[in-house]
Structure 1
């Protein structure tokens, strides 16, 4: 599990490999990632946007930016968590993802970024 805390917001990530899929004439490696966002701060926060950098072993990088996550812009109260699952497809059996969420403190209207730790996507465990 990969974890990081920014401004009292703890991000935890778990990944799974789902096998090979064919998208048109392209063979891809399918992965799921499970995100837990825990609010350890004293104020409620709302997740507004996501920014992802997705890398594969073939030197291809994909950038994803959009509103919320999985169609939602959740408000997370202090001591509460929000969980979601999403997927990505790589052209190689090894890659990585990382990024950040844009959030707003619902009490002070302060916008801030929460770092998502870079995590590995691999078909089999790889040791360095």
Structure 2
């Protein structure tokens, strides 16, 4: 796809999720989660996050796709060696689900690229066994 140096754009995405009992209504099949994303720029050029694409799968295999500009209303520019962290949320109909996706990025030299978001679990703490 790109003939650029493969170490040119290195964005590392890590996520931690937490179950929000106070926002969940299990009797109504509503399980709310917060997730905190850390986006680290391990490359040699600054890059701006332009958009996001999430694939959210619940325990029944139902998929929601979410696309939008930026994250939490921002399109952060992340310099080499720096990171950006934000917290957002998701609601699914089962106690356990998963999320994955990608961020659309643009480097300072104008190159567009995707930064993958590795799959992570959304899990009610009592339901993971």
TM-score (norm 2): 0.86
Task: Report the equivalent of 1:109.
Answer: 110
Asked whether the equivalents of residues 15 and 37 of structure 2 are also in contact (C-alpha less than 8 Å), the reply is yes
- In the alignment, structure 2 segments of 5+ residues that lack a partner are 1-7
Task: Report the equivalent of 1:123.
Answer: 124
Q: Is residue 57 of structure 1 aligned with residue 59 of structure 2?
A: yes
The CA deviation at 1:21 is: 2.7
For 1:64, what is the secondary structure of its paired residue?
strand
- Distance in 2 (alpha carbons) for counterparts of 1:103 and 1:21: 33
More helix per residue: 2
Stretches (4+) displaced over 4 A = none
- In the alignment, structure 1 segments of 5+ residues that lack a partner are 1-5
The CA deviation at 1:60 is: 1.2
- Distance in 2 (alpha carbons) for counterparts of 1:12 and 1:57: 22
Task: Report the equivalent of 1:3.
Answer: none
Asked whether the equivalents of residues 9 and 44 of structure 2 are also in contact (C-alpha less than 8 Å), the reply is no
RMSD: 1.8
TM-score (norm 1): 0.87
Of the three residues 17, 24, 28, the one matched with 1:21 is: 24
